[in-house]
Amino acid sequence: MPDPLRLGIAGLGTVGTGVVKIVQRQAKLLQARTGRPVVISAISARSRDKDRGIRLDAYAWEDDPVMLARRDDIDVFVELMGGADGPAKAATEAAIAAGKDVVTANKAMLAHHGHALALAAEKAGRVIRFEAAVAGGIPVVKALTEGLAGNEISRVMGVMNGTCNFILTKMQHDGLTYEEVFDEAARLGYLESDPTLDVGGIDAGHKLALLAAIAFGTEVAFDKMELEGIERITIEDIELAADMGFRIKLLGVAQMTGRGLEQRMSPCLVPDNSPLGQLENATNMVVLEGDAVGQIVLRGAGAGEGPTASAVMADVMDIARGIRLATFGQPASGLAKAKSAKASIPAPYYLRIKLQDKPGALAKIASVLGDAGISIDRMRQYGHTDPTAPVLIVTHKTSRAALETAIAGMAGTSVLVGEPFAIRIEVV
Ligand code: NAP
Ligand code: HSE
């Protein structure tokens, strides 16, 4: 009988219990596919007494995940607690030092410490795998590190936070305000314990930073990411954008340009008939572009017990099979320091403004745009009963800097009411 692969699981919440269930339910299948039993030796969580709806009495218990990580009877430390620092990082470091491989779903920890952890693991001859950390059940890390390994990747893009996509699509379909749908997302248990991680774009930014490291062979550079959340999006924006043939998505884009690495996670407009525009509810979608393969679109559940545990098990299975890949697809010591692009490449923009309804007002705005070198593609003014006229403008491609110059210029026209609202239109 071949030696079993012995797991130590720290964290028995949504993802941890999902992993335990797969190991228990699919024991025969896991053995058939890897050629050896995959077993759980020991577990850890905060509360030993909590009823988790699964049998755990066969496993040794540790109160301290660091002690779990050091146990002699485990081969793989499965970190499913979460948090960029604290016990997750301490236990991961302890596991590597004790000669264990690590499987984690923790995008926050890897976005902040991924490079240092990968270097430490490689020095110790261990692996760190993180399929579950990005887009839940979608095997996007595998797609990049393995399936597309022979490609030069030009762009990685996608909707990687299910909560934000749920909020934006629900606002659109039910005509509800951001605040109303946010409360529903909270009731449904979609939000992270700190909801600003979701709606502030941080969680999705963590995921994009990890994909960018693999795609472009660079050290994880989450601190260089341009980040904007969805808190400012109103139902009016969603409805007006729809009227112009667009959907608003919290979209991540990472691409290597001649000026350096561009990474941004921000609300963008995408054509409503594009695959990204059609993405509903909490589903995730990742678009990968390679020189040989062209464009690949991956779509699926980005969160939840089953999908995330499925991704954790993919990593566990690789280790059981003896497949040992570098954390970010190549030795961490060979990853380049990312030179960040100072500005994103030009794009069309959608601009929503309110004007005083008086002769020459629109002409003044058009003239400010012209002075900034911005050409108008489409424009629409809506009927109104109050003295302010809502106007939508879609520009041709322009730089963010030119747009900001124009917005500053509009403030000096004396015809503007309130602040203009601008969103980039992503060509997908
Ligand atoms: P969760 O439901 O909040 O579970 C966290 C678990 O960690 C709990 O069992 C908790 O113990 C345990 N824990 C927390 N602090 C601990 C400590 N100091 N010592 C020992 N155990 C501790 O979280 P989750 O949703 O399963 O997420 C786990 C990880 O997966 C996170 O990194 C998350 O970002 C990532 N992830 C989650 C999803 C998802 O859909 N949920 C998707 C992708 C990635 P108690 O149960 O006793 O409180
Ligand atoms: N809060 C995350 C989301 C969970 O909504 O996508 C999965 O990482």
φ, ψ for residue 104, nearest 5 deg: -140, 155
Ligand 2 binding residues, C-beta < 6 A: 136, 161-163, 190, 192, 198, 203, 302-303
What confidence tens digit (pLDDT) does each residue in 2-45 have? 999 999 999 999 999 999 999 999 999 999 999 999 999 999 99
For residue 131, what is the DSSP state? G
94 and 208 co-located in one domain: no
Domain extent, residue 374, equals 349-425
**Across 173-177, 197-201, 355-359, least confident range:** 355-359
Output the pLDDT for position 136: 94
198 and 118 co-located in one domain: no
**Residues with Cβ within 8 Å of residue 153, at least 6 apart in sequence:** 144, 215, 216, 256, 288, 289, 290
**How remote is the CA of residue 268 from the centroid of ligand 1, in Å?**
30
| pLDDT of 78 over the 90 cut | yes
Active site residue 207: yes
51 and 110 co-located in one domain: yes
**How remote is the CA of residue 109 from the centroid of ligand 2, in Å?**
15
CATH number, residue 188: 3.30.360.10
218 and 93 co-located in one domain: no
Output the pLDDT for position 100: 98
For a pocket test of ligand 1, which of 15, 129, 198 has the largest count of ligand atoms closer than 8 A to its C-beta? 15
Q: Say how far apart CA 233 and CA 241 lie, in whole Å.
A: 11
What is the band of 202 on the pLDDT scale with cuts at 50, 70, 90?
very high
155 and 274 co-located in one domain: yes
Kindly give the number of the ligand 2 atom that is closest to the alpha carbon of 284. 6
Helices vs strands, H then E, count in the chain: 14, 16
What is the band of 255 on the pLDDT scale with cuts at 50, 70, 90?
very high
Q: Say how far apart CA 408 and CA 390 lie, in whole Å.
A: 19
Output the pLDDT for position 82: 95
Q: Say how far apart CA 329 and CA 113 lie, in whole Å.
A: 16
The protein residue with its alpha carbon nearest to ligand 2, atom 4, reads 303
Mean pLDDT of the region 113-138: 97
357 and 236 co-located in one domain: no
| pLDDT of 248 over the 80 cut | yes
CATH number, residue 125: 3.40.50.720
**Residues with Cβ within 8 Å of residue 137, at least 6 apart in sequence:** 300, 301, 302, 304, 306, 307, 308, 310, 311
Output the pLDDT for position 357: 84
Last residue of a domain, one of 133, 162, 194: 133
Quote the pTM value. Answer: 0.95
Is residue 98 situated within a structural domain? yes
**How remote is the CA of residue 130 from the centroid of ligand 1, in Å?**
15
> For tokens 């004007």, what's the residue?
355
| pLDDT of 192 over the 90 cut | no
Is residue 329 situated within a structural domain? no
> For tokens 């839940």, what's the residue?
136
200 and 278 co-located in one domain: yes
For a pocket test of ligand 1, which of 81, 197, 284 has the largest count of ligand atoms closer than 8 A to its C-beta? 81
Is residue 150 situated within a structural domain? yes
170 and 290 co-located in one domain: yes
Kindly give the number of the ligand 2 atom that is closest to the alpha carbon of 308. 7
Kindly give the number of the ligand 2 atom that is closest to the alpha carbon of 105. 8
Q: Say how far apart CA 381 and CA 353 lie, in whole Å.
A: 10
Count of the separate structural domains present in the chain? 3
Q: What six digits make up the tokens of 187?
A: 């009731």
Q: Is 273 exposed, middle or buried (0-12, 13-18, 19+ CB in 10 A)?
A: exposed
Kindly give the number of the ligand 1 atom that is closest to the alpha carbon of 311. 43
Kindly give the number of the ligand 1 atom that is closest to the alpha carbon of 52. 46
Q: What six digits make up the tokens of 83?
A: 């948090």
Is residue 288 situated within a structural domain? yes
Question: Torsion angle, CA of 351/353/359/363, rounded to 10 degrees?
Answer: -20
362 and 284 co-located in one domain: no
| pLDDT of 189 over the 80 cut | no
The protein residue with its alpha carbon nearest to ligand 2, atom 7, reads 303
187 and 129 co-located in one domain: no
- Report the relative pairing of strands 416-425 and 349-356 from DSSP bridges: antiparallel
Output the pLDDT for position 383: 77
Mean pLDDT of the region 280-293: 96
What confidence tens digit (pLDDT) does each residue in 133-186 have? 999 999 999 999 999 999 999 999 999 999 999 999 999 999 999 999 999 888
For a pocket test of ligand 2, which of 163, 164, 299 has the largest count of ligand atoms closer than 8 A to its C-beta? 163
The protein residue with its alpha carbon nearest to ligand 1, atom 46, reads 13
Question: Which ligand gives the minimal distance to the CA of 20?
Answer: 1
Average model confidence (pLDDT) across the chain: 95
**How remote is the CA of residue 384 from the centroid of ligand 1, in Å?**
50
Last residue of a domain, one of 133, 161, 187: 133
What confidence tens digit (pLDDT) does each residue in 303-328 have? 999 999 999 999 999 999 999 999 99
Kindly give the number of the ligand 2 atom that is closest to the alpha carbon of 204. 6
Q: Is 282 exposed, middle or buried (0-12, 13-18, 19+ CB in 10 A)?
A: buried
In the chain, the percentage of residues whose pLDDT exceeds 90 is 87
Residue 178: half-sphere exposure toward Cβ, Cα within 13 Å: 13
The protein residue with its alpha carbon nearest to ligand 1, atom 20, reads 45
Question: Which ligand gives the minimal distance to the CA of 82?
Answer: 1
What confidence tens digit (pLDDT) does each residue in 393-412 have? 999 999 999 999 999 999 98
Mean pLDDT of the region 255-262: 92
Output the pLDDT for position 186: 83
For a pocket test of ligand 2, which of 14, 140, 203, 207 has the largest count of ligand atoms closer than 8 A to its C-beta? 203
Output the pLDDT for position 1: 80
Is residue 406 situated within a structural domain? yes
Identify the three-state secondary structure at position 386.
Answer: coil
124 and 42 co-located in one domain: yes
Kindly give the number of the ligand 2 atom that is closest to the alpha carbon of 192. 1
Is residue 334 situated within a structural domain? no
**How remote is the CA of residue 408 from the centroid of ligand 2, in Å?**
36
Is residue 140 situated within a structural domain? no
For residue 340, what is the DSSP state? B
State the catalytic residue, choosing from 89, 100, 170, 207.
Answer: 207
| pLDDT of 279 over the 90 cut | yes
What is the band of 99 on the pLDDT scale with cuts at 50, 70, 90?
very high
What confidence tens digit (pLDDT) does each residue in 368-382 have? 999 999 999 999 888
| pLDDT of 384 over the 90 cut | no
124 and 184 co-located in one domain: no
Is residue 323 situated within a structural domain? no
**How remote is the CA of residue 268 from the centroid of ligand 2, in Å?**
19
Count, residues in the chain:
428
Output the pLDDT for position 193: 80
Identify the three-state secondary structure at position 216.
Answer: helix
Are 213 and 328 within 8 A, CB to CB? Answer: yes
Output the pLDDT for position 344: 82
307 sits in the region (left: phi over 0; alpha: psi -120 to 50; else beta) called alpha
Question: Which ligand gives the minimal distance to the CA of 204?
Answer: 2
CATH number, residue 397: 3.30.70.260
Q: Say how far apart CA 264 and CA 226 lie, in whole Å.
A: 4
Distance linking the first and last C-alpha atoms of the chain: 51
Ligand 1 binding residues, C-beta < 6 A: 10-16, 44-47, 50, 65, 80-82, 87, 105-107, 132-133, 136, 303-304, 308
Q: Say how far apart CA 245 and CA 414 lie, in whole Å.
A: 30
